[in-house]
Amino acid sequence: MKIALSQIAPIFLNRLETTKKIVAQIRDASLEGCRLLAFGETLLPGYPFWLSHTGGAQFNDSDQKSMYSYYLQESVSIDSGDLESICQAAMSGGIAVVLGIVERADDRGGHSVYCSRVFIDQNGQILSVHRKLMPTFEERLVWTQGDGHGLVTHPVGPFSVGALNCWENWMPLARSALYAAGEDLHVALWPGSVGLTKDITRFVAMESRSYVLSASALLRREDLPEDLPILEKLPDQSIFFNGGSCIAGPDGRWLVEPVVDREELIVADLDPSKVYEERQNFDPMGHYSRPEIFSLSVDRRRPKAIHWRDENDFGHESTLS
């Protein structure tokens, strides 16, 4: 099966223009005959990289407040249709898409955001939205903790595809949940650093005996808008994220070594028989597991902050959520 990784830079904190760029990549990948296309973590509309450079933990700081407001306004509301053109492009190209977004959570009041992974199938349907379980370090200053609702896999051709965001890929139990769901093609979404992808990609491939695709983004100074509130406070450097997208086979060997410092549509052919060959001597949730000794419980319910109880027109109580 032919797959692709899209290593591109966002039009930073511009949801509409970044969406156009994503749609163009979906079209190009479908013309290549790809069945699956993956993008980096929170590509739409961008990763909150400014926190590391502007004292993000300063309480009640006007710069952090203005950036959060900017971020919130350009984030993605799925219920409002912000992904419709991307879903349409997936349907038109007959290609499944794994996309990292900053999700504005309408089910939690609409003013908090999550680092989310969206899976769109080849019919343009959103099958799952996984919210990052634990934002990493300064990310917690802008992203809300997620849940287990999206710890699922989806069929794409002969493969069962699962995906995690960034450092979630270091969480053994999160990986195990996807392995148990039959995953044999793992997508790891990253903001964009070869330092993040070069070791773990091969490690997860060897542990899971699966193909592992690490999808990263770029971020260059030229991608930043001129009206960004803290632009003059950022360091004078030409590139903030250098990519590092790569692909490892189920034996842990490179199919595509990390690509750095450039935008590129990375295309590769995956052979499912290679997974079966490597599972012959090690299957982490099959013949090499010991379920009578080790077991894992996963709660995939999506938590709600409030449960409404209202009376309907007939005077009977009804439960709405």
Question: Which residue range(s) make up the domain with 242?
Answer: 2-320
Task: Say which of 166, 183, 246, 278 is annotated catalytic.
Answer: 166
Angle at 74 between CA 71 and CA 75, to 5 degrees: 80
246 as an active site residue: the answer is no
- Residue 143: both structure tokens together: 């992203």
Report the C-alpha gap between 228 and 301 in whole angstroms.
37
The whole model's pTM is what? Answer: 0.94
Beta-strand pair 36-38/96-104:
parallel
pLDDT of the chain, 321 residues: tens digit per residue: 999 999 999 999 999 999 999 999 999 999 999 999 999 999 999 999 999 999 999 999 999 999 999 999 999 999 999 999 999 999 999 999 999 999 999 999 999 999 999 999 999 999 999 999 999 999 999 999 999 999 999 999 999 999 999 999 999 999 999 999 999 999 999 999 999 999 999 999 999 999 999 999 999 999 999 989 899 999 999 999 999 999 999 999 999 999 999 999 999 999 999 999 999 999 999 999 999 999 999 999 999 888 888 877 555 555 544
Distance, CA of 211 to CA of 275 (rounded, Å): 7
Q: How far is Cα 96 from Cα 125, in angstroms, rounded to an integer?
A: 9
Contact between residue 256 and residue 247 where contact means Cβ atoms under 8 Å apart:
yes
Q: Specify the number of domains making up the chain.
A: 1
63, containing H or E segment: helix 62-74
> Is 87 known to be catalytic?
no
Q: How far apart are CA 228 and CA 230, in angstroms?
A: 6
User: Considering 21, 34, 41, 139, which one is annotated as catalytic?
Assistant: 41
Instruction: Tell me if residue 60 falls in helix, strand or coil.
Output: coil
Q: In CATH, what number is assigned to the domain containing residue 196?
A: 3.60.110.10
Per-residue H/E/C for 259-276: EECCCEEEEEECCHHHHH
- State residue 321's pLDDT score: 47
Rounded Cα–Cα distance for residues 150 and 131 (Å): 7
Instruction: State how far the Cα of 159 lies from the Cα of 155, in Å rounded to an integer.
Output: 6
What are the Cα distances from residue 135, in Å, to 1, 138, 142, 194?
Answer: 33, 8, 9, 20
Q: Report the sign of the C-alpha dihedral through residues 216, 7, 71, 86, in that order.
A: negative
Query: Are the C-beta atoms of residues 78 and 43 closer than 8 Å to each other?
Result: no
Q: Tell me the C-alpha distance between 165 and 187, whole Å.
A: 9
CA distances for 229 relative to 64, 67, 84, 154, 210, angstroms: 9, 7, 29, 40, 43
Query: What pLDDT does residue 309 have?
Result: 86
Alpha-carbon Rg for the chain in angstroms: 20
8 A C-beta contact, residue 72 and residue 104: yes
Query: Using CA atoms, how far apart are residues 176 and 147, in angstroms rounded to an integer?
Result: 15
Note if 41 is an active site residue. yes
Amino acid at 292: E
Alpha helices, DSSP H, located in 127-230: 172-180, 194-197, 200-208
Place of tokens 């190209």: 93
The per-residue pLDDT for 317 is 53
Contact at 8 Å (CB) between 263 and 9?
yes
74, 132, 183, 246: the active-site residue: 132
